[in-house]
Amino acid sequence: MNFNDAVKKYQQNPTNENLNSVARELCAQLKTGEKLHMLSGKRFFLRNGFDLITKGQKYNCRPCIAGGVKRLGIPEVAFSDGPRGVVMGNSTCFPVSMLRGASFDDELEYEIASAIADEVAAQGGNYFAGICINLLRNPRWGRAQETYGEDPFLLGRMGAAVTRAVQEKGIIACPKHYAVNSIENIRFDVNVLCDDKTLHEVYLPHFKACVDAGAMSVMGAYNLFRGEHCCESKYLLKDVLRDEWGFTGFTISDFLMGVRNAPRALKAGLDIEMPQIMHYATLPLDLKTGKVSMNDIDASVQSILRGLIKITPNLKSTPKSVVACKKHTELAKRAALEGTVLLKNDGVLPLCEGSKVGIIGRYADKINVGDHGSSSVFAPYTVTPYEGLCNLYGRENVVLVEGTAFSPSIAKLKTCDAVIVCVGSDYKQEGENLANFSKSDKTTQKAMGGDRYSLRIPDDEVSLIRSACRVFDRVIVNIIGGSAYIIEEWKDGANAILHSFYSGMEGGNALAELISGRENPSGHLPFTMAAEENDYPDFLFPSAKTRDITYGYYHGYTLLDKEHKNAAYPFGFGLSYTEFEYSDISATDCGDTVLIKLKIKNIGKRDGKTVVQVYAGAEGDHPIKLLKGFKKLNVKAGKALNAEVVIDKNDLKFYNPDSKEWYLENSYTFFVGQDSENTEEVRV
């Protein structure tokens, strides 16, 4: 039997039982050396190092390769990274995942993932490791931009959409980083502690949602969990992932530092060491000395074969012309339009298209699409905020002042109808920690990326905002960055505030269309913007005397609810250029589901989109409310429609750590509204 024979045999009877049988049969055809070859990446340093030196290329400029057996036609695992698009080549740079989470639109995310899958295939890949679904516990986390928000249900819906989309195209889907990974600067040695109830209800549901959607691979995390590295945790990789959830695919390590001990990792269920054989180089000797068995080797080989047999036959030949094609770049712009959040508007927006606009700040005309780590995408072009305004209003009607001082240009700026101030962050303030070797917690000593030591806009940019508010009549602040900021000290002075995150290669055009009113903002915050930094859970920095941190049951909006605090801007918040009225809300028990019905009326003069959010709460030691359903709907001006949101009762269950079973409470209260604080209650 070769690989093609195995695929045909599986497709004749595509059941899990037959997949297991076929994988065992194909595995039996492999020699010991071939089996060991399947368990690691190869030529990473040679391929990437050579390209870096000779061509000025970057990480993952072409697929990172693992395994493969030519003799039997078993394909290599051809890895591509990239939550915001394909890292290889000059691909479409979509907005970061956090902005797409703010769209509250998993159907749009499915479209984006399908486009990404085409670009992976066109550049020789068959594996996509861009499904970052780590929960945003505290916005200080440097890689917050790579995930979808603070809520497990939202993360699960978005991650599952990506999983289905890419695997339908023959690309193996890989959710990451499994698990409890949300601190960057000490990611290699932080030890996360949490109880079983917290783990299962808060930090794992989104991973299970991807497994339930069919994900055939999972990447382990760098950090430790309960004293063990996640890539060497039998509890995570076998007891939960395989035994509880029924995962049938294969696991890979996070790159270079994921594995520390080969026998421990392999026996725990870590199938492939990526991106290069390092610790797994000892496996031949470990096999001879009995530290690992042939059963351990076969278990991992069969897991890899199951993923390849089930998914890669769907892979189609895709022309390179699909990479950054017009269809995909237009999709990138649509994503930016759908996810940008309007936080404040006293009537200054929208600016009509005949307006004269000023734009100031260090990010006014800077390419700023996210961090420079493993998620960095080299797009063929990027439209900055200034360029987007010029494209819509005309260059002669846009006044640009870069930097954080505008005094020499006051006269020019005063001729403008409004001034846009671009502030926030870039790859130096947040992102993957690439060059932070200091033990200091001072931002000035951070060379590139890492966690955020302050959740506030930098002081010089706050001064810029305040100066602009004193001098100009109409000031619009555009926040660029990965997640939440504390903006209490300056928000009252601004006439309007937008959060545009890192909005991708078409972000400037999207911003202009939103500013002008060609498009109506419809993004909603996928996280809580608190009034004080201490409203978020504790965080660890390199200077801490310990590397142990306990992740509690409450964070984000659930923590504020528990402490009876209001957010500056609650989870799910987002304004529009119109207003919506919700009425006639009801909840009906339908057996396995709960049906939420309501009437939505657009009471404004513009067409717009609203996000119906359904939260659920129950008596007992639980959060007051948890997101359990949402739907984004377009409502015409002055019109009304009837909406329905179906809640799966499995999503309402709580975990009993003693019995290790999930259960329903006797009764539930449902909260329906346009954000987590402004809701109406109905009971079932």
Residue 47, pLDDT score? 72
Residue 444, pLDDT score? 40
| Coil, helix or strand at residue 645 | strand
**Whose structure tokens read 């989104």?**
206
* 54 or 299: which leads in pLDDT: 299
pLDDT digit string, tens, across residues 169-181: 999 999 999 999 9
Residue 51, pLDDT score? 61
| Coil, helix or strand at residue 169 | coil
> 310: burial class by Cβ within 10 Å (0-12, 13-18, 19+)?
buried
| Coil, helix or strand at residue 353 | coil
**Per-residue b/e over 87-112, b at no fewer than 16 CB within 10 Å?**
bbbebbbbbbbbbbbbbbbbebbbbb
Lookup: tokens for 60: 């993952």
**Whose structure tokens read 């947040």?**
430
**Per-residue b/e over 1-21, b at no fewer than 16 CB within 10 Å?**
eebeebbebbeeeeeeeebee
Residue 445, pLDDT score? 39
Judged against a pLDDT cut of 80, whether residue 134 lies above it is answered with yes
DSSP 280-334: GGGHHHHHHHTSS-HHHHHHHHHHHHHHHHHHGGG-----GGGTT-HHHHHHHHH
Angle between helices 326-339 and 106-122 (to 10 degrees): 150
Of residues 28, 99, 33, the one with CA closest to residue 302: 28
Q: CA 512, CA 501: separation in Å to the nearest integer?
A: 15
Residue 390, number of CB atoms within 10 A of its CB: 21
CATH number 2.60.40.10 given to 578-683: yes
Run of H or E residues at 669: strand 669-673
Do 157 and 112 meet the contact criterion of CB atoms below 8 Å apart? no
3-321 matches 332-524 in fold: no
CA 340 from chain center: how many Å? 15
For residue 225, which amino acid is it? F
**Whose structure tokens read 């486009």?**
115
Q: 0.85 exceeded by the pTM?
A: yes
Residue 580, pLDDT score? 98
**The dihedral sign for the CA sequence 206, 212, 215, 217:** positive
Of residues 620, 633, 631, 629, the one with CA closest to residue 649: 629
Of residues 497, 518, 576, 519, the one with CA closest to residue 353: 518
Superfamily (CATH H level) for 3-321: Glycoside hydrolase, family 3, N-terminal domain (3.20.20.300)
Q: Are strands 418-424 and 357-361 parallel, antiparallel or unpaired?
A: parallel
* pLDDT average, residue stretch 528-552: 97
Residue 55, pLDDT score? 63
Judged against a pLDDT cut of 70, whether residue 441 lies above it is answered with no
User: ∠ CA(202), CA(526), CA(535), 5° rounding?
Assistant: 70
Q: CA 323, CA 300: separation in Å to the nearest integer?
A: 34
User: Residue 621: phi, psi to the nearest 5?
Assistant: -80, 70
Omega within 30 of 0 (cis) for the link into 179: yes
Judged against a pLDDT cut of 70, whether residue 50 lies above it is answered with no
* pLDDT average, residue stretch 327-343: 98
Residues in CB range of 266: below 8 A, 6 or more apart: 39, 280, 283, 292, 296, 297, 300
Do 527 and 348 meet the contact criterion of CB atoms below 8 Å apart? no
CA 317 from chain center: how many Å? 28
What band does 21 get if pLDDT is binned at 50, 70 and 90? very high
pLDDT digit string, tens, across residues 258-314: 999 999 999 999 999 999 999 999 999 999 999 999 999 999 999 999 999 999 999
Q: Where are the domains of the chain?
A: 3-321, 332-524, 578-683
**Whose structure tokens read 């039996």?**
28
Judged against a pLDDT cut of 70, whether residue 421 lies above it is answered with yes
Q: CA 648, CA 642: separation in Å to the nearest integer?
A: 20
Of all residues in the chain, the percent with pLDDT exceeding 90 is 94
Look over the chain and give the mean of its residue pLDDT values, rounded to a whole number. Answer: 96
Q: CA 276, CA 638: separation in Å to the nearest integer?
A: 60
Structural class in CATH, domain 332-524: alpha beta
Three-class SS of 119-157: HHHHCCCCEEEEEECCCCCCCCCCCHHHCCCCCHHHHHH
pLDDT digit string, tens, across residues 482-523: 999 999 999 999 999 999 999 999 999 999 999 999 999 999
Judged against a pLDDT cut of 80, whether residue 442 lies above it is answered with no
Judged against a pLDDT cut of 70, whether residue 75 lies above it is answered with yes
Q: CA 373, CA 371: separation in Å to the nearest integer?
A: 6
Residue 106, pLDDT score? 98
**Whose structure tokens read 């992976």?**
120
Judged against a pLDDT cut of 90, whether residue 437 lies above it is answered with no
What band does 436 get if pLDDT is binned at 50, 70 and 90? very low
Lookup: tokens for 635: 């409502």
Judged against a pLDDT cut of 90, whether residue 553 lies above it is answered with yes
* pLDDT average, residue stretch 193-213: 98
Residue 48, pLDDT score? 72
Lookup: tokens for 322: 């699909």
Residue 353, number of CB atoms within 10 A of its CB: 14
Question: First CA to last CA across the chain, in angstroms?
Answer: 56
Q: CA 487, CA 507: separation in Å to the nearest integer?
A: 23
Q: CA 29, CA 35: separation in Å to the nearest integer?
A: 10
Of residues 518, 619, 489, 487, the one with CA closest to residue 498: 487
Lookup: tokens for 318: 């895709």
Torsion angle of alpha carbons 65, 69, 70, 72, nearest 10°?
-150
